[in-house]
Amino acid sequence: CADMAMYQVKGQGKNGCAAFLPHMQTSYLNRLSIENDLREAVKQGNQFELYFQPQMEALTGNATGLEVLIRWHHPKEGMISPDVFIPIAEETGLIVAISDWVLWKACSHFAALSALGFDHLRLGINLSPREFDRSDFLERIQVPLEEFGVPPQFLDIEITESLLMKDVESIVARIQRLRDTGVHISIDDFGTRYSSLNYLRRFSVNRIKIDQSFVRDLGLSQDSYAIIQAIVGIAQNFKLNVIAEGVETAQQLEILHQLGCNEMQGYFFSRPLPFEKTVEFLKTTPQH
């Protein structure tokens, strides 16, 4: 149950793997001890690992990019889900050090992939709202890119809509400065937050990511179908790329394709994989 079961829950036996229930885990793990252990993990650095989930062109079966997803191997508790520790990292400010680690590590993996001939893949990095509060945010992104020779257009920063709500003017200016360096911007979990369509005019975003909650209900709910149809329409009108997340079935793929969304990500193609497994997966795609 390597990557789907994010952590082992005490009392479920030695192979006890649990589904994705962060609230359950926090009842076993005291929040304060997570915070302390996270601080220690940040200091040590070797408890984190990056997993990669391929982003696919559904028609050709080629990968266009990889979303970078952090994993925390807790020395005693096993895998702890980012849904559990990222919010704590954000509240405590540890997110800054964690994101730095992610950026550096991801850039080193990009260089390794390029050396293997996979030099066309964009890396999707999740950044938290707090990253944009800091005056040195641009430098923190640019230095690792330069260090590993990653062209800026191969970095795709995934930001959540909620970020766009706070302190809009300064965020607009900062995202624009980041875009001016050539880095790509995707709006993550599109449609789930206090989405203000008006903002789309003001950010030069490259792409919107259709949230997996809509994809999950495709084929079951007329509403989700209509929402995805509307989001694809928005993407087309704003000349943005669009990708659907959480694609698990051939039926979802088929409907998305009919709706005009051709880029997809989800368990149907691949789960998030550790680096070696990612390379193996990429070797099975037509273009490599």
* Residues near Ca ion, by CB under 5 A: 126, 158, 188-189
**CB of 117: closest distance to ligand C2E in angstroms?**
25
Piece of 29-37, 108-116, 121-129, 230-238 that binds ligand C2E (CB under 6 A): 121-129
CA distance 40 to 286: 43
Q: Answer for the pair 103, 142: CB distance below 8 angstroms, yes or no.
A: no
Query: Is the CB of 26 or the CB of 162 nearer to Ca ion?
Result: 162
Does 212 bind ligand C2E (CB under 6 A)? Our answer is yes
Q: Which residue is nearest to Ca ion (CB)?
A: 158
Q: Answer for the pair 78, 7: CB distance below 8 angstroms, yes or no.
A: yes
Query: Is the CB of 65 or the CB of 144 nearer to Ca ion?
Result: 65
Classify 81 as helix, strand or coil: coil
**Residue that is written with structure tokens 């940040």 in the block:** 42
The one-letter amino acid code at 67 reads E
Site string for ligand C2E, 253-272 (x = CB under 6 A): -------------xx----x
The vertex-207 CA angle with 216 and 134, nearest 5°, equals 105
The vertex-59 CA angle with 55 and 62, nearest 5°, equals 45
**CB of 226: closest distance to ligand C2E in angstroms?**
21
- From the list 35, 57, 217, 248, which residue makes contact with ligand C2E (rule: CB under 6 A)? 248
How many residues lie near ligand C2E (CB under 6 A)?
21
- From the list 40, 83, 91, 223, which residue makes contact with ligand C2E (rule: CB under 6 A)? 83
Give the single-character DSSP code of 259: T
Determine whether 46 is exposed, middle or buried from the number of CB atoms within 10 Å of its CB (0-12, 13-18, 19+). exposed
Classify 181 as helix, strand or coil: coil
CA dihedral 239, 181, 245, 228 (to 10 degrees): -20
- From the list 66, 69, 218, 232, which residue makes contact with ligand C2E (rule: CB under 6 A)? 69
Residues near 59 by beta carbon (within 8 Å), at least 6 away in sequence: 257, 262
Q: Which partner from the list ligand C2E, Ca ion, none does 246 bind, CB cut-off 5 to 8 Å by kind?
A: ligand C2E
**CB of 148: closest distance to Ca ion in angstroms?**
21
Q: Answer for the pair 232, 261: CB distance below 8 angstroms, yes or no.
A: yes
- From the list 26, 47, 62, 81, which residue makes contact with ligand C2E (rule: CB under 6 A)? 81
**CB of 267: closest distance to ligand C2E in angstroms?**
4
Q: Which partner from the list ligand C2E, Ca ion, none does 203 bind, CB cut-off 5 to 8 Å by kind?
A: none
**Binding-site ranges for ligand C2E (CB under 6 A):** 53, 69-70, 81-83, 86, 102, 126-128, 158, 188-189, 212, 246-248, 266-267, 272
